[in-house]
């Protein structure tokens, strides 16, 4: 997969393609609020499986029913197609 840094035009397209995600400095960020911890952790586990299969891992935090995920490509110091792909896969979770 192409892992070069996304350019300015790519970032504009990306924000349109992923309206649920906030484009921060070199990061994509999204938060979720679930019914309870059981639902939140079920979601986290599904994201973990996607991430390990891509070998591209999020930064995330959780407290009870709230989950926040941040995506970046550490070795490129910014956003690449890996982040875009993982964000799209997360959006498709049932």
64 binds its own copies (CB under 8 A): yes
CA distance 69 to 31: 6
32 binds its own copies (CB under 8 A): no
Count CB atoms within 10 A of the CB of residue 34.
17
Contact between residue 23 and residue 41 where contact means Cβ atoms under 8 Å apart: no
Query: Cα 68 to chain center, whole Å?
Result: 9
3 binds its own copies (CB under 8 A): no
8 binds its own copies (CB under 8 A): no
Compose the 75-94 pattern: x for residues touching its own copies by CB under 8 A, - for all others.
------------------xx
Residues at the contact surface with its own copies, assessed by CB under 8 A: 34-35, 37-39, 41-46, 48-53, 55, 57-64, 93-94
């Amino acid at each position: 997969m192409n892992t070069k840094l996304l350019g300015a035009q790519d970032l504009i397209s990306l924000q349109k393609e992923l309206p649920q995600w906030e484009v921060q400095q070199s990061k994509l960020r999204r938060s979720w609020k679930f019914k309870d911890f059981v639902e939140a952790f079920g979601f986290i586990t599904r994201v973990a499986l996607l991430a390990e299969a891509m070998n591209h891992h999020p930064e995330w935090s959780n407290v009870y029913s709230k989950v926040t995920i941040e995506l970046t490509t550490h070795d490129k110091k910014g956003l690449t197609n890996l982040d875009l792909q993982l964000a799209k896969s997360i959006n498709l979770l049932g």
